[in-house]
Amino acid sequence: MTSAALPPYPWSIETTGLLKRYGKVVALDSIDLTVPRGAIGLLGPNGAGKSTLLKILLGLTRPTGGSAKVLGQDVQHEGTALRARLGYMPEVDALPSNATAADFVAHMAEMSGLPRRAARQRANDVLYQVGLDEERYRLIRGFSTGMKQRVKLAQAIVHDPELVFLDEPTNGLDPMGRDDMLSLIERINRQLGINVVLSSHILDDVERVCDYVVMLDHGKVVAAQPLHVPEDLAADLHVRIDGEPAAFLAALEQQGLHAVQAGIEFGRDEFVIRRDGEQTADIVRDAAVSSGVPLRLLRPATRTLADLYIDSIEAEGAAPQPGRGRRRGAAA
Amino acid sequence: MSVNPTAPATRRTYGEIFDRGYLHYDGPRLGVPAAIWALARYSMARAIGIRRPWTAKIIPFLIYAAVLIPVALAIGIRAFVPAFNFLTYGEFFGAIFILEGIFVALIAPEMVSTDQHDKMLPLYFSRPIGRNAYVVAKLLGTGLLTLSVSLAPVAIMWIGNVLLAQDPALALREGLDDLGRIVVAGVLIAFYLGAIGLMISSFTGRKSVAVGVIVLGFVISESLSLALSEALRDQPDLERWMFVLSPARTIVSMVNGLFPLNDGDIDSFAVPFTQAAGVMVAVMAICSLVMFLRYQRHD
């Protein structure tokens, strides 16, 4: 069951034609995925198939068709060995109410094969890491929602997994608790080196924590790509000027650059200019100088995850639902 | 005054702050059998209230007291009046099976219903332990814990009888046969009742419902068995098998077969030990099978 002997494997998740039907309902529609290691966001609205995918990858449910590998091991045929390398934080409150956090987390460590003494030591260490050092001998039933989420996170990483699945870890948390939880998840991935799959319907959570995103909608993968790719997300320039824009726009046209007015939410003096080579920013600056308009803002017009989400959904032909606005941080 | 830099530090600064950091675990990882034993051990402790609030300990320990008081009495009387046999092993088994039933009705729901209620099953099944190992752990835990009321008190009584005999060494040699029968009876009762209790409890996440169904099941099965025996009085071959319907009658039949009465007053409808034990083993197998099926994925 030791993971030390296993060779490093570049992919965290691989699926081929993964299909899951519940009666006539298709939860996962023959999805093909190859997802690298790192912090992976699994994004989609409720009912998109995120939880079903997680359950299949954890071996909690069988696929109707296709196959799936996690960390290079087949989820169907190598489930026992694989699950020793995985952690799972479920969405629901899967906690014994009348146990202390230390007892529960140590017990879950033993369930993953750790000897008793090591399990207790690891439980204390991990509870300290998630900020429950003082409270670890209190009964879980007296914990706040945020503390319960931390206990769930602690049990998911107590056995030092290579990959941890987090199912809606910020559910029910107030803004401060949510921020703390996301900080913990970032730390788990960046400092502790544990790969993370974060399932969420909140764009902000994924955008903050993850470096790769898989978007699901109606059981289909609508996007699977890295986040924050410079050549894609920084393709345009966002410009704001003071004064009359006509001369500025004419100066740009002379240099072969075309500016379009930014969205209404940005104001009428803001423009997006398609980047055309490395000198584009210099040309814009010179155009502002030559036309005599003060240049107030010049920065890459980054596309947010919300933009990416909406584009992906629209590309699939599905109209965005209410609440999926282009606003940054909107719930998907 | 010079300081020798090679001298070992004999004093540490009080109140040093250490960054505990995070250490990856590179120690041993035990296999599934260790996880099964860990789950059985944890479940047993939880079921009798260990590492839980004191209210969870009251009823299990009242039952332990109720079971151990007759043992203490029997040993005490034996110490002062050696010729008077206050309680035989067979009588003791016959007297305490109701308490054993109540004990199982209390612990079995704690073993499995609580996991369902607290939504713990996905957590367990996402670990290496898996579904079948989970069932094995729960059966093992329930059986071993029930041994503490079905076997331990009688074993203590046997040890007391040996130690209080005029020649303990001779009593030990002569009592080994009794000890063997005590172990067989205790183990059969524990795993038989445990399997029934667990199977019933596995169908609900509500402990109170499980406790009620187990207790009612024992009472109703007893009544049904007696009623059918009465109705089939003209058909002795059929009537003698009606014990199968009642756990209480099955246990009494097994104990009577294992510890026959000394006065020769043998019930003409008595069931041989092998038949009663066979029925118990079959019921255990059926209950275990139902549990294994119950916890399989149904998708």
Contact B22 A192 (CB under 8 A): yes
Tell me the average pLDDT across B283-288. Answer: 97
Task: Please indicate whether, in this complex, the C-beta atoms of B126 and A83 are within 8 angstroms of each other.
Answer: yes
Distance from CA of B20 to the nearest CA of A (A): 8
Least reliable range by pLDDT among B128-132, B144-148, B267-271? B267-271
Q: What is the mean pLDDT of residues B213-242?
A: 90
Query: Residue A7 corresponds to which tokens in the numbers above?
Result: 């060779």
Q: How many CB pairs under 8 A join A and B?
A: 118
Which residues of chain A fall below pLDDT 70?
Answer: 1-8, 228-235, 262-268, 301-304, 307, 310-332
Q: Which of A84, A192, A193 is nearest residue B128 as measured by Cβ atoms?
A: A84
Q: Is A86 on the interface with B (CB under 8 A)?
A: yes
Length of chain A equals 332
Q: Sorting pLDDT into bands at 50, 70 and 90, what band is B238?
A: confident
Task: Give the span between the Cα atoms of A165 and A199, in whole angstroms.
Answer: 8
- A103 to B30: CB separation less than 8 angstroms, yes or no: no
Opening angle at CA B219, ends B217 and B224, nearest 5: 90
Annotate A100-124 with three-state secondary structure: EHHHHHHHHHHHCCCCHHHHHHHHH
Q: What is the pLDDT of residue A263?
A: 56
- Average pLDDT across chain B, whole number: 88
Provide the pairing of β-strand A212-217 with A220-226.
antiparallel
Which residues in chain A have Cβ-Cβ distances shorter than 8 Å to B30? 1, 113-115
Buried b (16+ CB within 10 A) or exposed e, A190-225: eebebbbbbbbbbbbbbbbbbebbbbbbbbbbbbbe
Q: Is B298 exposed, middle or buried (0-12, 13-18, 19+ CB in 10 A)?
A: exposed
- What is the C-alpha separation between B138 and B201, in angstroms, rounded? 11
| Test mutation, A62, A88, A112, chain B, max B CBs within 10 A | A112
CB contact under 8 A, A4 and B26: yes
Which distant-in-sequence residues (6+ apart) come within 8 Å of A289 by Cβ? Answer: none
Amino acid making up residue A134: E
Closest Cβ–Cβ partner in A99, A115, A139 for B30: A115
Distance from A169 to chain B by nearest Cα, in Å? 15
**Set of chain B residues whose Cβ sits within 8 Å of the Cβ of A98:** 52-53, 56
- Collect all residues of chain A within an 8 Å Cβ-Cβ radius of residue B52: 98-99
Q: What is the CA radius of gyration of chain B?
A: 25
**Euclidean distance between CA atoms B232 and B242, whole angstroms:** 9
| C-beta atoms of A1 and B30 within 8 A | yes
The pLDDT score that the predictor gives to residue A5 is 53
The predicted pLDDT at position B5 comes to 47
pTM value > 0.95 = no
The Cβ-side half-sphere exposure at A70, using a 13 Å CA radius, reads 29
CB B131 within 8 A of CB B295: yes
Residues B4-34: tens digit of each pLDDT: 444 444 555 566 655 566 788 989 999 899 9
Residues 50 through 79 of chain A touching chain B, CB cutoff 8 Å: 55, 58-62, 79
Per-residue pLDDT band at B43 (split at 50, 70, 90):
very high
Share of chain B above pLDDT 70, in %: 89
- Asked if the model's pLDDT at residue B206 lies above 90, the reply is yes
Place of tokens 């729901």: B109
ipTM: 0.84
Q: How far is A90 from chain B (nearest CA, A)?
A: 8
CB A156 within 8 A of CB A81: no
Cα B23–chain centre separation: 40
Q: Could you give the dihedral angle defined by the CA atoms of residues A287, A290, A294 and A297, in that order, rounded to the nearest 10 degrees? A: 20
Q: Which residues of A touch B130 (CB under 8 A)?
A: 79-80, 83
CA A241 to the chain's CA centroid: 35
Question: Which residue bears the tokens 């320039």?
Answer: A237
The alpha carbon of residue B4 is apart from the nearest alpha carbon of chain A, in Å, by 37
pLDDT, residue A10, reads 83
- Do residue A108 and residue B27 have CB atoms under 8 angstroms apart? no
Judging contacts by C-beta atoms under 8 Å, the chain A residues touching residue B127 are 83-84, 108, 111-112
Q: At a CB cut-off of 8 Å and minimum separation 6, what does A320 contact?
A: A310, A313, A314
pLDDT digits (tens, 9 = 90+) for B177-202: 999 999 999 999 999 999 999 999 99
Query: Considering only CA atoms, which of A120, A87, A93 is closest in space to residue A104?
Result: A120
Band (B235; pLDDT cuts 50, 70, 90): confident
Chain B touched by A161 (CB under 8 Å): no
Cα B46 from Cα B107, distance rounded (Å):
9
CA angle A164, B34, B113 (to 5 degrees): 75
A6 part of contact set with chain B, CB < 8 Å: no
* Backbone dihedral region for residue A233 (phi beyond 0: left; psi -120 to 50: alpha; all else: beta): alpha
Among A88, A97, A159, beta carbon nearest to B25? A159
